[in-house]
Amino acid sequence: MSTSGEFGPVQVAAQAGRDTLIANAALPGGRVGDAIVRFTAGDRTNHWIVALAFICTALSGLALFHPSLFWLSNIFGGGPWTRVLHPFFGLTMVIGFAFLVFRFYGYNRMTAADWRALPHLGEVEAGRYNAGQKLLFLLWMTCLAVLLVTGFLFWRPYFAGYFPIPLIRVAALLHSFFAFVLISFVIGHVYFALSVRGSIWAMTRGTVTLGWAWRNHRAWFREVTRAARTRSGTD
């Protein structure tokens, strides 16, 4: 099937993988039309596993962080169960995010152009991910690396006994600080996902409208449509 627009006629696949133009896709508002596959079913499943693990890790960690938040431990069956489960929630989150790194790191590497674009977000044509999204991805990688290492240092009863108390105290401080940073930025991530219309649809249904791609990631839109034109032999 072919469609036409600013870039001329392009070939639209009936079914396709990531970053491909497809026809007769479900669109927000009950509409059907041409769309771009932004996330595959595997991508979305991986994302929501990480999101759920993050929520469980954050809530259980906050319950252990301060007595005023200990009531959160009721979600997990009380204090002892919260202490037992928290590290395993964290490991699940790290492992899940490792798969996202494997699949998306190439898209999220900061370039010289990205650093120049940072003061002008919204004014430059963004690729698949803009500079702010790439920095968030880098922040996730950094925070999870620190949280993983420091968490092992005071994980009782398995590893804490192998390390001196002063090191465990420093690890606990760093663990709390980077957890706070990560939680803060995830709240911002959720805010922007909700405020940019069509973003949640992309992470639940996998596709975005051509208009969404044009407004938010114009350089990516051009790449996808150019590839579709190449496949159709119109270049």
Question: What confidence score (pLDDT) does residue 7 get?
Answer: 40
For 168-226, what is each residue's pLDDT tens digit?
999 999 999 999 999 999 999 999 999 998 999 999 999 999 999 999 999 999 999 98
- One DSSP character per residue, 178-207 reads HHHHHHHHHHHHHHHHHHSTTHHHHHHHSE
Q: Which CATH superfamily is domain 41-197 in?
A: Transmembrane di-heme cytochromes, Chain C (1.20.950.20)
State the pTM of this model.
0.87
Start-end of CATH 1.20.950.20 domains in the chain: 41-197
What's the chain's length in residues? 235
**Nearest 10 degrees: CA dihedral of 164, 168, 174, 175?**
140
Q: Is 189 a catalytic residue?
A: yes
Question: What confidence score (pLDDT) does residue 231 get?
Answer: 67
Question: What confidence score (pLDDT) does residue 101 get?
Answer: 96
Q: How many Cβ atoms sit within 10 Å of the Cβ of residue 52?
A: 14
The residue annotated as part of the active site, out of 86, 120, 189, 217, is 189
Q: Which residues of the chain have pLDDT under 70?
A: 1-16, 231-235
